[in-house]
Amino acid sequence: MEEKYTVEETKALRTGAIAMLAILVAVFITISHNASIKRKNLGGAYKIYANFGRTDGLNVGDIVRMSGIDVGRVVDAKLDENFTSKLTLEIDSKYKIPEDSSATIVSYGLIGGKYIEIDVGGAEEYIPSGGLIGYTQDAMILEELLDRILRR
Protein backbone atom coordinates (compact mmCIF):
# COMPACT_ATOMS: atom_id res chain seq x y z
CA MET A 1 0.00 0.00 0.00
CA GLU A 2 1.45 3.35 -1.05
CA GLU A 3 1.17 6.30 1.34
CA LYS A 4 0.65 9.79 -0.14
CA TYR A 5 1.10 13.12 1.57
CA THR A 6 -1.84 15.49 1.70
CA VAL A 7 -1.58 18.96 0.23
CA GLU A 8 -1.38 20.47 3.74
CA GLU A 9 1.44 18.13 4.76
CA THR A 10 3.39 18.94 1.60
CA LYS A 11 2.99 22.69 2.22
CA ALA A 12 4.08 22.28 5.85
CA LEU A 13 7.18 20.31 4.83
CA ARG A 14 8.07 22.87 2.17
CA THR A 15 7.59 25.79 4.58
CA GLY A 16 9.71 24.08 7.24
CA ALA A 17 12.51 23.39 4.74
CA ILE A 18 12.52 27.02 3.57
CA ALA A 19 12.57 28.32 7.17
CA MET A 20 15.46 26.00 8.06
CA LEU A 21 17.37 27.12 4.97
CA ALA A 22 16.84 30.81 5.88
CA ILE A 23 18.14 30.20 9.42
CA LEU A 24 21.22 28.38 8.12
CA VAL A 25 21.97 31.20 5.67
CA ALA A 26 21.67 33.82 8.46
CA VAL A 27 24.00 31.85 10.73
CA PHE A 28 26.50 31.35 7.90
CA ILE A 29 26.53 35.08 7.07
CA THR A 30 27.05 36.02 10.73
CA ILE A 31 29.89 33.53 11.20
CA SER A 32 31.65 34.46 7.96
CA HIS A 33 31.38 38.20 8.76
CA ASN A 34 32.91 37.69 12.20
CA ALA A 35 35.68 35.48 10.76
CA SER A 36 36.59 38.06 8.10
CA ILE A 37 36.88 40.80 10.74
CA LYS A 38 39.08 38.61 12.94
CA ARG A 39 41.46 38.02 10.02
CA LYS A 40 41.58 41.70 9.04
CA ASN A 41 45.05 43.16 9.51
CA LEU A 42 45.04 46.47 11.35
CA GLY A 43 48.28 48.05 10.19
CA GLY A 44 49.44 50.85 12.45
CA ALA A 45 46.98 50.18 15.26
CA TYR A 46 47.13 51.43 18.84
CA LYS A 47 45.74 49.85 22.01
CA ILE A 48 43.28 51.30 24.48
CA TYR A 49 41.43 49.73 27.41
CA ALA A 50 37.82 49.45 28.57
CA ASN A 51 36.49 47.98 31.83
CA PHE A 52 33.16 46.17 31.96
CA GLY A 53 31.23 44.46 34.74
CA ARG A 54 29.91 41.80 32.33
CA THR A 55 31.07 40.84 28.87
CA ASP A 56 28.82 37.80 28.30
CA GLY A 57 29.13 36.58 24.70
CA LEU A 58 31.94 38.95 23.71
CA ASN A 59 35.15 37.18 22.70
CA VAL A 60 38.73 38.08 21.86
CA GLY A 61 38.76 38.85 18.14
CA ASP A 62 35.30 40.44 18.08
CA ILE A 63 35.01 43.81 16.37
CA VAL A 64 34.92 47.36 17.67
CA ARG A 65 32.70 49.80 15.78
CA MET A 66 32.33 53.54 15.81
CA SER A 67 29.37 55.19 14.02
CA GLY A 68 28.66 51.82 12.38
CA ILE A 69 32.17 51.47 10.92
CA ASP A 70 34.59 48.72 11.94
CA VAL A 71 37.53 50.52 13.58
CA GLY A 72 39.22 47.76 15.53
CA ARG A 73 38.90 44.55 17.49
CA VAL A 74 39.17 43.07 20.97
CA VAL A 75 42.67 41.62 21.37
CA ASP A 76 42.73 40.63 25.04
CA ALA A 77 40.38 40.09 27.98
CA LYS A 78 41.45 39.74 31.60
CA LEU A 79 39.78 39.72 34.99
CA ASP A 80 41.28 42.26 37.39
CA GLU A 81 41.58 42.05 41.20
CA ASN A 82 38.07 43.57 41.58
CA PHE A 83 36.56 40.92 39.25
CA THR A 84 36.03 43.48 36.50
CA SER A 85 36.67 42.52 32.89
CA LYS A 86 39.51 44.57 31.44
CA LEU A 87 39.43 44.48 27.66
CA THR A 88 42.27 45.53 25.41
CA LEU A 89 41.02 47.09 22.18
CA GLU A 90 43.20 47.48 19.12
CA ILE A 91 42.08 50.54 17.13
CA ASP A 92 43.19 51.35 13.60
CA SER A 93 45.50 54.38 13.82
CA LYS A 94 43.49 56.36 11.27
CA TYR A 95 40.66 56.64 13.83
CA LYS A 96 40.89 58.88 16.88
CA ILE A 97 38.44 58.47 19.76
CA PRO A 98 37.41 61.56 21.77
CA GLU A 99 38.19 61.12 25.47
CA ASP A 100 34.55 61.53 26.57
CA SER A 101 33.35 58.67 24.33
CA SER A 102 31.58 55.64 25.76
CA ALA A 103 31.68 51.93 24.89
CA THR A 104 28.73 49.54 24.91
CA ILE A 105 28.61 45.80 24.30
CA VAL A 106 25.82 45.18 21.80
CA SER A 107 24.49 42.21 19.85
CA TYR A 108 24.05 41.67 16.12
CA GLY A 109 20.62 40.20 16.85
CA LEU A 110 19.01 37.32 18.69
CA ILE A 111 21.35 34.67 17.28
CA GLY A 112 24.27 36.89 16.30
CA GLY A 113 27.51 37.52 18.11
CA LYS A 114 28.45 40.60 20.09
CA TYR A 115 30.67 43.57 19.39
CA ILE A 116 31.69 46.83 21.04
CA GLU A 117 30.05 50.02 19.81
CA ILE A 118 31.87 53.24 20.67
CA ASP A 119 29.54 56.21 21.05
CA VAL A 120 31.58 59.21 20.00
CA GLY A 121 31.85 62.09 22.46
CA GLY A 122 32.41 65.74 21.67
CA ALA A 123 35.73 66.40 23.41
CA GLU A 124 38.59 67.93 21.48
CA GLU A 125 41.14 65.70 23.26
CA TYR A 126 41.54 62.07 22.17
CA ILE A 127 42.18 58.86 24.11
CA PRO A 128 45.92 58.22 23.79
CA SER A 129 47.54 54.84 23.13
CA GLY A 130 47.32 52.94 26.42
CA GLY A 131 44.42 55.14 27.57
CA LEU A 132 41.10 54.08 29.07
CA ILE A 133 37.53 54.54 27.85
CA GLY A 134 35.95 56.06 30.95
CA TYR A 135 32.28 55.28 30.28
CA THR A 136 31.13 51.73 29.56
CA GLN A 137 27.86 49.81 29.50
CA ASP A 138 27.80 46.07 30.12
CA ALA A 139 26.35 43.41 27.86
CA MET A 140 22.59 42.96 28.05
CA ILE A 141 21.65 39.37 28.81
CA LEU A 142 18.56 38.30 26.85
CA GLU A 143 17.41 35.83 29.50
CA GLU A 144 17.56 38.48 32.22
CA LEU A 145 15.67 40.97 30.07
CA LEU A 146 12.91 38.46 29.35
CA ASP A 147 12.74 37.58 33.06
CA ARG A 148 12.30 41.26 33.96
CA ILE A 149 9.53 41.69 31.37
CA LEU A 150 7.66 38.58 32.52
CA ARG A 151 7.80 39.57 36.21
CA ARG A 152 5.91 42.82 35.65
Do 31 and 54 fall into the same domain? no
Do 50 and 106 fall into the same domain? yes
- Average model confidence (pLDDT) across the chain: 83
Q: What is the pTM of this model?
A: 0.67
- Residue 33 confidence (pLDDT) above 70: no
> What's the structural domain count of the chain?
2
Do 14 and 75 fall into the same domain? no
Q: Picking from 23-27, 77-81, 117-121, which range would have the lowest pLDDT averaged per residue?
A: 23-27
Do 27 and 46 fall into the same domain? no
Structural domain of 8:
1-39
Do 1 and 48 fall into the same domain? no
Contact 91, 105 (CB under 8 A): no
- Residue 111 confidence (pLDDT) above 70: no
Express each pLDDT in 66-85 by its tens digit.
998 999 999 999 998 888 99
Q: Which among 104, 107, 91, 96 is positioned nearest to 34, based on CA atoms?
A: 107
Q: Residue 70: helix, strand or coil by DSSP?
A: strand
Q: Which among 115, 97, 109 is positioned nearest to 48, based on CA atoms?
A: 97
Q: Residue 69: helix, strand or coil by DSSP?
A: strand
Do 61 and 98 fall into the same domain? yes
Do 105 and 136 fall into the same domain? yes
